[in-house]
Copies of this chain bind each other. A is one copy, B any other.
Amino acid sequence: MAKVTPTIPQGTRDFGADEVRKRNFILDTIKTEFELYGFQPLETPAMENLDTLLGKYGEEGDRLIFKILNNGLDNSEKEKEARQGFEKVLKGKNDKAITERALKYDLTIPFARYVAMHHTRLNFPFKRYQVQPVWRADRPQRSRYREFYQCDADVVGSDSLFNEIEFAIIYSKVFYKLGIPGITIKVNHRALLSALAETCGDLKYFTPITVAIDKLEKAGIEKVVAELESKGLNKEQIKIIREYLDIQGTNKNKIKRLEELLGKNENGRRGIADLKFVLSQQDLLLDLTLARGLNYYTGTIFEVTPPADLKIGSIGGGGRYDDLTGLFGVPDIPGVGISFGVDRIYDVMEEMKLFPAAVHIGTQALFFNLGETESRQAFQLMEELRDMGIRCEMYPDTVKFDKQFKYAEKKNIPYVIIIGSKELEEKNCTIKDLRTGKQESVSFDMLSAYTFK
């Protein structure tokens, strides 16, 4: 029977050795930094109850959740329920007879669910980081996948602005350690947008103003103005918003202008005071056009961008929120968090060729297989090398030199070690560095002291 070559689902990826190592270089750098700042790991299941996820991501988000089909639908006793449930599914609704579970769509809602479940036991302020895949039934396109890693850290149960400062430091240190130059860490405050709405006459303008400003970078000021007009804002109001958006200069100048424009408003004063505190400690760019769209942020907001010429969007973002777990019946847990855009960071590092050479090396030395007696000697020497932490392997079969060389080359193994009958007799092995072609003889006794670069 002819079989068809198998494929994988659209929008998903296999990660080979080189990709796993490169991705782990990024993830390990981030995790290590989170831990240096007192964040502890949390892992939640891939599946959540569908109820936990539904209604948290807007109508469009709900549609992009991957739902798990219930097992055992062939149970004839439950056929009626299943049929009724399926009718609802056909109408775009969900029904527990058909699906009760779904794959997680982000890390925030599972985190909120975890905190709500365990809030009586948790040690607040609770600092956790979480690095796990999430799934979205999005239309696959360049750099957008249906399965991708998210990488978040949050502190909940603390109002202190020191948390904001710490996150700004973490951003700057992680990108420094990854070796990515030209990073900009932008900061703004959602209370300024509230103040702006109130200065325009009504807090109800908060959402249209935020949504419009969020499009500024991509769409330009004319389209933002048009959108504001379409939402019913008049010329006078739009003038105020343009004045706000036109604020330029150093952070200090911007703060000064903000004080003139929004300093009489309570929200304005709060936003300005918070920003002054945060900016006092860290080299951040106050970007008043930063809005972070339709989400739950209520305080300081962050966004990180790579060098503009790469044309890769933001590689990190976050902010403060008032109420993480209210949706799950546990009110008054404020917090602040950031996330790293792992796929885009990977793309930036690829594009700028920033991955260190060591990341591409798995096995450091290949022992050639020249027969059983030679192999047994190799086995013994390999154990000595492994005790020194050297990753090595022997070609398992006795095949031609050429084939063994090719194997080493294809696997990007820098050293080959040859033990033939002559070497066996002289208790020496021949080490060849495939990168330079340099060859030397090293006695068996000294091999474990050899420096494999």
Residue of B nearest to A409 (CB): B123
User: Which residues of A from 58 to 111 have beta carbons under 8 Å from B?
Assistant: 63-64, 66-69, 71-74, 79, 82-83, 86, 89-92, 98-101, 103
Q: A-side binding surface: helix, strand, loop or mixed?
A: mixed
Looking at the complex, which one of B21, B46, B99, B160 makes contact with A133 (CB distance below 8 Å)?
B46
- Knowing A68-B67, A162-B375, A396-B163 are in contact, say whether A3-B327 is a contact too (CB < 8 A): yes
What's the least CB distance linking A365 to chain B, in Å? Answer: 9
Q: Which stretch from A36-44, A210-218, A298-306, A417-425 is at the chain B interface?
A: A36-44
CA distance A133 to B103 in the complex (A): 13
**Is A207 part of the contact surface with B, judged by Cβ < 8 Å?**
no
A92 contacts which chain B residues (CB < 8 A)? 73-74
**Is A152 part of the contact surface with B, judged by Cβ < 8 Å?**
no
> Can you give 19 contacting A-B residue pairs, CB < 8 Å?
A4-B329, A5-B328, A7-B49, A8-B44, A8-B117, A9-B47, A13-B45, A14-B43, A15-B42, A17-B40, A17-B41, A17-B128, A38-B362, A38-B363, A40-B362, A64-B71, A67-B71, A83-B86, A165-B379
Let me know if B69 and A91 touch, CB within 8 A.
no
User: Which residues of A from 1 to 35 have beta carbons under 8 Å from B?
Assistant: 2-9, 12-17, 20-21, 24, 35
Looking at the complex, which one of B82, B146, B392 makes contact with A38 (CB distance below 8 Å)?
B392
CA distance A127 to B369 in the complex (A): 16
- Knowing A35-B391, A68-B68, A125-B397 are in contact, say whether A9-B101 is a contact too (CB < 8 A): yes
**Is A231 part of the contact surface with B, judged by Cβ < 8 Å?**
no
**Is A296 part of the contact surface with B, judged by Cβ < 8 Å?**
no
**Is A411 part of the contact surface with B, judged by Cβ < 8 Å?**
yes
Let me know if B393 and A38 touch, CB within 8 A.
yes
Looking at the complex, which one of B38, B41, B375, B386 makes contact with A391 (CB distance below 8 Å)?
B38
Residue of B nearest to A378 (CB): B162
Residue of B nearest to A326 (CB): B3
CA distance A14 to B369 in the complex (A): 47
Let me know if B98 and A90 touch, CB within 8 A.
no
Looking at the complex, which one of B3, B390, B395 makes contact with A329 (CB distance below 8 Å)?
B3
Q: Chain A, 160-188, contact with B by CB distance < 8 Å: what is the 0/1 string?
A: 10110110010000000000000000000
Let me know if A2 and B329 touch, CB within 8 A.
yes
Let me know if A48 and B9 touch, CB within 8 A.
yes
CA distance A17 to B99 in the complex (A): 31
